[in-house]
Structure 1
Amino acid sequence: MALAAAVVVFLLQLCRFSLSLNQEGRYLLEAERGLVDPSGALSDWNPRDSTPCNWTGITCSDGTVTAVDLTDRGLTGPFPASLCRLPNLAFLSLSANYINSSLPDSALVPCDALAHLDLSQNLLVGSLPDALAALPALTYLDLTGNNFTGPIPPSFGRFPRIRALSLVANLLTSTVPAFLGNLTTLRQLNLSYNPFAPGEIPPSLGNLSSLEVLWLAGCNLVGDIPPSLGQLSELADLDLSTNALSGRIPESIVNLSSIVQIELYNNSLSGPIPLGFGKSGSLLQIDASMNQLEGPLPEDLFDAPLLESVHFYSNRLIGAIPASVSRSTSLIELRLFANRLNGSLPSDLGKNSPLMLLDLSDNMLSGEIPGSICDRGVLEELLLIDNLFSGGLPVGLSRCQTLTRVRLRNNQLSGEVPAGFWGLPHLWLLELRGNSLSGGISPLISGAANLSKIVIDDNRFTGSIPSEMGALSKLYEFSASNNQFSGPLPASLGNLEELGQLDLHRNLLSGELLRGIHSWKKLSELNLADNKFTGRIPPELGDLPVLNYLDLSGNLLTGSIPIQLQNLKLNEFNLSNNDLSGAVPPLFLRDVYRNSFLGNPGLCDGMPGLCPVSRSTGDQRGYIWLLRSIFILASLVFAVGVAWFVWRHRKYKQAKQGTEKSKWTLTSFHKLGFSEYEILDCLDEDNVIGSGGSGKVYKAVLSNGETVAVKKLWGTSKKDVENVNHSVDDGFEAEVATLGKIRHKNIVKLWCCCTTKDCKLLVYEYMPHGSLGDLLHGSKGGLLDWPTRYKIALDAAEGLSYLHHDCMPPIVHRDVKSNNILLDGEYGAKVADFGVAKAVEMIGRGPKSMSVIAGSCGYIAPEYAYTLRVNEKSDIYSFGVVILELVTGKLPVDPEFGEKDLVKWVSCTMEQKGTDHVIDPKLDMHHREEMRRVLGIGLLCTSSLPINRPSMRRVVKMLQEVGAESKPTKAEKKDGQLSPYYCEDGSDHGSIV
């Protein structure tokens, strides 16, 4: 009885608590029960409270819930429909969670008071619900970064009060609809980065008289920019970048009276820049880079009173830079590189404007660098590469304490460099290569504490290298070849712990080579060729852990070659034309090193072509012939024995398989000229051609002469099952379901599948050259010249583009890598291995859809680590890594990179050393410009932000444009032209656009 009474009391108490919480609290608890809260973010949602107004994320007004803000709480599950039953809910944000499933119309009823709805950065799928447009109070809707598919529904043209609509980075199709022009209350419209079908900008958008922001970047827009956009008198931000727009920039654009920022870069716009931007009283930035704009810069462009940033690089502009640029009082950035501008710069450029960045590289500008360029004292970057500038460096630059990068390569500058210029405290990159500068390096260089890269090759510098350079603790590269430096190397250089490249060849340097260089742990290149160095080669060189380029040729070095040099892994090794003597270390007694020792008469001991033939050689020939004969006989006997054993083994295996053939079931996807029994007869270990994470692959030559590849999945026999921890059925069904319905020239063909209870086989078309990864990173990598690599990149891109844009529903491969790109007899590329492929519409429907780790090490997009979201952007990142592999020849992950992967290594190396240092040395640099542009596409694909990655359809187009532009004659292209997708070496002109 006592126990029963206690239970009754407990139930009454529980009832009292539940009754104490108001109805709104119960709705919230119902919402919480439908969500998974792994971090306990909602742990204070207590049913014992009388009101939810003090709960996390809840805001009340007059005792009723008006706002629910659960942004970035790690919540998982479907949209909590019970929230819409809160009668006064005006603000709802579930942004940056893992809200999945679809968003049905019923989930949004009633929500009559809802004005602000933010569901961005979740995992929502399916079509956009019509019910959103029926919400009577809705003014703000943000669905950015989900997986919504299909067209924008017509109902979205009927929002009664909408002011901000953002559908960025979904999977929306069809075209940008004209009915959006009916939303006259709109102030912000952002549809960027969706895989829309090619379509024009609807002229009806010009009716949005209240519009302040129009973002249509990456929407696959084609055709002209409609002049009606010039009617948007309230428009402050216009972004039409990264599309395929053509034609002229409409003159009506200059009538945008409230415009602050115009982004038109990365299109195909042509014609002149309209006159009239100068009258805009609000314009801060204009960027129309990477187009085909022609003609001169408008004379009034820089008269816009607030103009801060002008980017018109990579166009076809001609003529002089207008004098109005020197009158601007607000100009901060001016990027006009890669055009055809000529003439001289205004002599007072920089006097009136707070210039921080000036990049006029790759033009035909001449005259002197204006002395006033840093008069305002804020200039950070001065980039004038590949022009015709003459005269000396302005003295004013030596007082420009803010400078961080100076690149004046390949001009006609002369005279001495002002002493103070060498010691600028914040300068980390100094490039003066390819001029006629003279004088010496000032000892004041010790004040340049941040200097990381000094490139002053191909000038007329003289004098000794000052010992003060040893104080540059951050110095990574010192390149001063083809000058007239003399005297010994200062011992202080041996203290530079960060030094990675030292190139002083073709000077007049003398004395002995440095000793005590144990601090050079990061030195990878040492080139001291063609000087007057004397003495012995320091044995310490052999202790440098990463040195792979050593050239000491053309000096007066004596003594023997230190045996310690055998410790080095050298790609380039040259000790020729010295006075070395003694024995060549045994490791170098190979033909590959023959040219490394030419011109050293004193070297001997076994190097063919360098040393006399031993007299005893003839006496040994008979003995060597006898040994060879014995070896050949023994090999013949062994081969006969092996052949007999293999014959007996096959007979036994065929007899055993004969009893099992009837158990197989064959499912074909194409008309076949063979049976399953022929396939089974070829499953012999002698026919194995590969083995991967999902199975073993056999080569099968059939009776009709056809060759196929057979994949036997791991764990399909009783013996294998014991050693496998993942589900073979899932991988098999995924691959069959995916490949069986695909028909594309760049997707590997699945002929059929064969199954029994214990074994599963997939039969593919045979690809004679195997995988790209094996060929590229193996001993035969030299077979892949640049035209072949480019074709492989384009083929693979077209295959992935088909999966993303032409399959219904779209297919995400989820494991794009070089080993899953196979090569046929003509080196045509085909995408393979769909064991983890998923249709986009299935992603995000629960834990099961994410049960397979998506991707391989080095290829996985960075956002996967913290979101586990997989969509087309993940594939695009992985494909970008493949492009980097093709250009660099490097593996995606390599001990050479330290803690970096290939993407980070390429970016850092380009920043520090330039593009040429990441291009595979096996490639012909005649294709340098094309390789640079493809490299830029790869870096664009591997952008850390998914929103910045182009669609695969856009990647295909960019690659095709690279191939098309490589066909004109050399006379039509200026040497060294910069990439329209990425700046010349990653540090010349900023970052990826």
Structure 2
Amino acid sequence: MSTAYSSMQHFPSMLLICFLFLFSKIKSDELQMLLNLKTSLKNSNTTVFDSWDSNKPICEFTGITCNSDKSVKEIELSKQNLVGVLPLDSICQLQSLDKLSLGYNFLHGTITNHLNNCTKLQYLDLGNNFFTGPFPDISSLSQLQHLYLNQSGFNGSFPWKSLQNMIGLVTLSVGDNLFNRGPFPNEVVKLTKLNWLYMTSCSIEGTIPEEIGNLIELSNLELSSNYLSGEIPSQIVKLRNLWQLELFNNTLTGKLPLYSNKLSGEIPAEFGEFKKLVNVSLYQNELTGPLPQKLGSWTNFDFIDVSENHLTGPIPPDMCKKGTMTRLLVLQNNLTGEIPAGYANCSTLLRFRVSKNRLSGKVPAGIWGLPKANIIDIEMNQFEGPVTSDIGNAKALGQLSLGNNRLSGELPEEISKATSLVTIQLNDNLFSGKIPVSIGELKLLSSLHLENNKFSGSIPDSLGSCYSLTDMNMASNSLSGEIPFTLGNLPSLNSLNLSENEISGPIPGSMSSLRLSLLDLSHNRLSGPIPQSLSIEAYHGSFTGNPGLCSRTISFFQRCYPKSGVSKEVRTLILCFAVGSMILLAALACFFHLKKREKYRDRSLKEESWDLKSFHVLTFTEDEILDAIKQENLIGKVIAGTHGYIAPEYGYTYKVNEKSDVYSFGVVLMELVSGKRAIEPEFGDNKDIVDWISSKLKTKESVLSILDSGIPESFEEEAVRVLRIAILCTARLPAMRPAMRSVVQMLEDAEPCKLASSAIGKDGVFNKGREGLGSEKCSPDQ
């Protein structure tokens, strides 16, 4: 009895201990979930994660809000330049999470069904990102009040039926996505608490339902750029709280808005006297004459869009007089005069677009540094003068379009501080001087057009750090020096034009790894061999006007001949170094090389050396490999013995430096496993080994058909493992390719040394268990 009484006395203490233990474990789990998010977005150009330290309380992390129990309640990381794939399986384990805000970033990948586990979400913003695929059914998120998915790359069928459980939804923004065409969803008109409905450009067809009048709380309704037809329903007059209605770019009948019509004549001068006018939308009409010069000078003016008309005269000077203007859109008219000086101080401007007019004079210096502007577009005018150092203040600037003017001077170094730049178009001006080395700091830069200017000096090596570059044009300048080796590091580069310059030296071997739809190096002073992978019909016109170039396959160039004086032993060693950026791959490479050498042992040195041309896709040369043979690069000892086995005590394998390329690495693996070259006639026109292997990944039999017929059946499993690694390394999206460190680990797990442990003797028979490779795993010295 006393024992039971004593146990009862201790029960509350035990319960408290259990609760504290459970609470501590929950906090630990939430910390790990947030750190998983940080890891997934580690390549982001942001400082937001600086405070995400495992030694700090999670409630002190930037962007994190906790509830009274110190559990994560909100994640607010919008507009933070985040890059990566969302780990929703981890995020949605946060039991108290009711707000997830990640809009205006650079997130990609698919949104998985794990999102359904965020059952307490009331606010979800994934808008303005770069996702792919359809958006999943989210029926379990019945507590949602705000849903932002606009302009995020989604396609396919949108799960409208999942909205029927969200009776408290206030904001629905799903526009600017390529959904499948379908009728206006009935589920939407039943959401009677909606205040904001944005369904612009999301493939809705048919008529607007009469029930739209049930949404009496609506203040904003945007249905433009769809496939809507019929009359605007009369019940729309019930929307008494509506302050913005956009229905343009449909085939609706009845009354139309003022813009996107065929309105002609002049804008009445009385518009300039309106005391409460804050917005003017008259674009895509046939209006003529000047804009009223007092326009927008009386109120807290917001924006003007009179683009695509025939307006003349100057830009009204006082539309930003009250310091509230967000958009100046007057492009594609016949406006004249200079940019009014007052706009240089308009710090609220998000878009400054005056292109395709007849404007002239110098651009006010403050325009270059507008702190919130994401677009500065002045192309196709007659502007003069320089881009000033104020450009360094344009922290939000994504698009800089200055083409086809008379701008001059040097491009300021401060342009590197405009770190949000995605597009730079300076073509067809009078810019001169060197291209700033600091331009390599623009990590988001996708398009760079500097053609038809007077730039001189060399192309900065730092451009090889602009990993987002897809389009680069520097044609018709006075650039000199060599093509930077680092350009071969640009995984997404699709178009490269360096023609009509004074560039000299060889074409870097690193460019072999690029997959370009357009390449133009013509009319320069290039010399040396054209890389084999670039010697294809699609590029034949890309090298004209370079008399110093040679080729083994393009007939109208002088023929290249291999260098003499390199011994067979040195060439074999170089091959082992080239394909052996790590010891595991070196063993595999030597195995395949020795097998081929035995098959063709009667050929001359010249013939055998050219049998190795499939390895030219690597982004470094023999000289660079030999230069890298230093003691500090040593990671192990291995060399191919003359009788087909590995002798660990006789040679060295060295680390591949930062110039190596995971994609090229995967191509080499494919060559080794298949016994084929990077480009073979059997692959088809404009197709390589990557395309060929991709076409065969259908059945087990077709996969096995890829393997070199010389590989014994007992080692097929190991060869398939290596092939799988090669496929990962050559993924189409650079972001999906593993890091080299991961490749090392995967190769260890694949046990390629087990495959290499059988070497070919002089009699052509596979021999197992030779000295130095008798074990199933590679020893540390190998």
TM-score in same-fold range (> 0.5): no
Instruction: Name the TM tier (shorter chain).
Output: 0.3 to 0.5
Larger radius of gyration: 1
How high is the TM-score relative to the length of structure 1? 0.36
How high is the TM-score relative to the length of structure 2? 0.45
